[in-house]
Amino acid sequence: MDYKISIVYVAFVSMCLLVSGCSGPEITTEITANHALSYKYANLTLTLAPETVHVSELSNLQLSLKNEGEYPINVDRFRHQCNYKIMYADGWDVEYESMPMCLPIRDDSLIEIMPGESYTVNVDDAGHWQGQLRKGNQSIAVVYYPSDSSYTTHKFWTGKLRSNNISYISEGVKNESQETIEGNVIFNGTIQVGDGYLVNDLIFNVNYVSVGTKYATIAVYQGEERIEEIKIYEGETHIVYSENNPRIALKLIDTFEGGSSSGNFSITVENSNLPVHDGGIIDGGFYAMYLND
């Protein structure tokens, strides 16, 4: 009896292997209920090329997803800032001037990649992040992160992949003015976002600090009038000219997170016959001085 059962079992296993394999992940083109699946045996690699690019040629970057596994697999088509993003090698995200509207993943956004084949596109929307990059030569990568969707009838890969790092070549930090001033350093320390520094009737209001991109934006007010908007990167110096005041050099030393985004600044006032009143840090900056009743 046991002998007959063994023969039947062997015959069943042989037929199973010939017909379907009886193992491994399901083919991704199979229509299922509204459900996304991270394939246990999927083997995808994400590549960003070329290895080095000038900052003016970022629109030529190519992003490629290759199926290194043994089975076809469905993936969500690349959608910039919806399922992939650019980041620096140290983990900070690249900033964008504007963000797209991201629609839910549907069947028409899926593409099937056969074993050994790749899905490749040009990295789009370079104009929205090219001007936001750090100065100098830096390394960047791409993170691909398609998530679950209840709007699909096909299974597709979900998860998170990071590409290789590539290098971009950009101009280094520089002084916006070629002039230098000789004077007294009246401040060398930290100013938080939202606060300001008062020198005579000038307020240097720190509006924004980007720790990832390493820059700060400062609005300069003379009295209640805004006379200048400054964007400086770490290591840069900007000289401010204003009526009835000596020239003032503002330098951004570095940026950091410390409860709130902050910057370390150096403020130098030119030697002159004009009076100088050092008002120090103003909590709440311009808005606290002039807009609070």
Domains of the chain: 25-169 (2.60.40), 183-290 (2.60.98)
Angle, alpha carbons 225-228-229 (nearest 5°): 120
The tokens of 291 are what? 């807009």
Q: Helix, strand or coil for residue 54?
A: strand
Secondary-structure percent of the chain, ordered helix, strand, coil, rounded to 5: 15, 40, 45
- pLDDT the model gives residue 135: 79
Query: What is the bridge-based pairing of β-strands 44-49 and 52-54?
Result: unpaired
CA 136 to each of CA 117, 197, 212, 218: distance values in angstroms, whole numbers, following the listed order: 36, 29, 14, 22
Cα separation, 127 vs 98, whole angstroms: 10
Cα separation, 48 vs 51, whole angstroms: 8
Pair 274, 246: CB distance under 8 Å:
yes
Digit-by-digit pLDDT tens for the chain (293 residues) are: 444 444 444 444 344 434 444 433 343 344 332 334 446 678 999 999 999 988 888 888 999 999 998 888 999 999 988 999 999 888 888 887 777 788 899 999 999 999 999 999 988 655 567 667 887 788 999 999 999 888 988 889 999 999 999 998 877 655 554 567 889 999 999 999 999 999 999 999 999 998 888 889 999 999 999 999 998 989 889 999 999 999 999 999 999 987 788 999 999 999 988 999 999 999 999 989 887 65
- pLDDT the model gives residue 259: 75
Note if the pTM is more than 0.85. no
Is the previous residue joined to 146 through a cis bond, with omega within 30 degrees of 0? no
* Burial label, 18 (beta-carbon count in 10 A; 0-12, 13-18, 19+): exposed
- pLDDT the model gives residue 225: 93
